Amino acid sequence: MNPIAGLMVRLQLYVLAPRPRDQRGDVPGWVLVTVMTAGLVGALYGLAKPQLTDMLTTALNSVH
């Protein structure tokens, strides 16, 4: 293999090699997702509470 081809192969391997990742992960992103999910669940529950209560009451009353 000529020197230029060897250099190209090494350069390609260096560029395409996977980089070591930080093991901590994306903590702020996960916190944001968790907080937003809790907010959405709280808002939906606040809007749908009467319907959910009626559905649960009807289901429990139908079981004898």
Q: For residue 10, give both structure tokens.
A: 């090494």
pLDDT, tens digit (0-9, with 9 covering 90-100), for 6-63: 888 888 887 777 766 665 666 778 888 999 999 999 999 999 999 999 999 999 999 9
d(CA 4, CA 10): 10
Virtual CA dihedral for 20, 23, 25, 28, nearest 10 degrees? -120
Phi, psi of 26 (to 5 degrees): -100, 75
**pTM for the whole structure:** 0.48
